[in-house]
Structure 1
Amino acid sequence: MHTDDEAALVTELLRDPAILFVDGPRWKTVTPPTTRDISAIGSYCMIWSPEDLPRLSAEFIQAHNDWYCRDENSTIQFLRCKMTETVIVEGSFAISTGPAEANAAANVERRYKFLCRAIKRTYRNSVVQWRNPQRPDAPAGPSRSANPSAPDRSLWVGPAAMTWMAGHADRRVKTFVTGFVEGAIIEPG
């Protein structure tokens, strides 16, 4: 996800006045600092609403001298995208709800489904093909995957990312910056 695609999704999320962002699952005080300004958040963001769960519980971790969230299952975890001149590191949303906080879980799942619908309205899938440039191209066989892969149906690419990738042949998407495997669009525009 390009930073412009991320900004559009954050705008959609912030239509709910109860939404807050928490910078990662660790913080220096028993209560996490919260904000509605995504630019104040690092690469791991928790999307939380006090209406779902009034307080996020945390456990003090002596070895790190900080507090670790024990209620991530009442939040949406958001790994934010990163960009270099030629690589977008894919951003992602995840949830892990459980029965302990049924009301919170239902609201988190509802909010997550809202994000999925927003993504599917404007993003495209099956437009990126993965390959490892350090390996020879090869069809899939009984003991190996194809290089390059079939179009990835699970990766949804935002409109700004599509435009950015189509703007130069060297631009790629990766799961992490230093990874060898990279994705390229196979259907520009």
Structure 2
Amino acid sequence: MHPDDEAVLMSEVLRDPVVLLVDGPRWKSAAPPTTRNVASVGYHCIIWSPEDLPKLPAEFIPSCNDWYCRAEHATIQFIRCVITGTVITQGRFAIATDQASEKTAANVERRYNLLRRWIKKTCVNSVVRWRNPGIPEAPAGPNRSANPSSPDRSLWVGPSAMNWLTADATRRIKISPETLVEGFTSQRSI
């Protein structure tokens, strides 16, 4: 997702008045600073409701003088996209409710499903193909994958991200800026 897509998506999440955002899994005090403004959180955002878990448990890590969140079971982890030059990194959501109470798990999963429904309604998939520019392009063979790949059905691209990617043929999507493998779309904006 492009930052504009993220802002629209997060406004949907924040319709729930009890949802708070936390900047990252690490913070400088026992209780994390919270916000309802997505622009106030960085790359790693935690989506949390005090109704599910009144306090986010954290463990103090002396070597870095930080507190580390120990409540993955009661939150949604949101890794945000980053645009650097002609590369956009893909954002991701994750939950791990296996250790949560039944009520907490149901609430977190409800929020996560809201995100999934919004993404499937608003975004498109099967538009990005992956390629490794470090190896020759070739069709799939009996012992190797195609380079470039078939369109990726599991990667959903938001409307602003799609416009950004198709506006310039040199723009790419990556899992992280350092990775060699890159995604591209052959669609062009009109």
TM-score, reference length from structure 1: 0.96
User: Per-residue CA shift, 1:52-78, capped at 9, x if unaligned?
Assistant: 111111111122212111111100000
Q: CA deviation at 1:142?
A: 3.0
Mapped partners of 1:93, 1:170: distance in 2:
27
Mapped partners of 1:54, 1:109: distance in 2:
17
Determine the structure 2 residue equivalent to 1:161: 161
Does the residue aligned with 1:161 lie in a helix, a strand or coil?
A: helix
Determine the structure 2 residue equivalent to 1:173: 173
Does the residue aligned with 1:106 lie in a helix, a strand or coil?
A: helix
Does the residue aligned with 2:97 lie in a helix, a strand or coil?
A: coil
User: Per-residue CA shift, 1:83-107, capped at 9, x if unaligned?
Assistant: 0231110111111112442211110
Q: Is the 8 A contact 1:162 1:188 kept in 2?
A: no
Q: Which runs of 5+ in 1 are unaligned?
A: none
Q: Is the 8 A contact 2:122 2:158 kept in 1?
A: yes
Alignment of structure 1 residues 1-189 onto 2, 5 Å:
1-188=1-188
Does the residue aligned with 1:98 lie in a helix, a strand or coil?
A: helix
Mapped partners of 2:74, 2:100: distance in 1:
10
Mapped partners of 1:145, 1:128: distance in 2:
16
- Give the length in aligned residue pairs: 189
Identity %: 61
Q: CA deviation at 1:141?
A: 2.2
Q: Is the 8 A contact 2:73 2:99 kept in 1?
A: no
Does the residue aligned with 2:160 lie in a helix, a strand or coil?
A: helix
Mapped partners of 1:116, 1:76: distance in 2:
12
User: For residues 73 and 100 of structure 1, do their structure 2 counterparts lie closer, same or farther at Cα, with a shift above 3 Å needed?
Assistant: closer
Mapped partners of 1:99, 1:58: distance in 2:
16
Does the residue aligned with 2:165 lie in a helix, a strand or coil?
A: helix
Q: Is the 8 A contact 2:46 2:78 kept in 1?
A: yes
Tell me which amino acid in the other structure corresponds to 2:75: T
Q: CA deviation at 1:188?
A: 4.2
Q: Which runs of 5+ in 2 are unaligned?
A: none
Tell me which amino acid in the other structure corresponds to 2:42: G
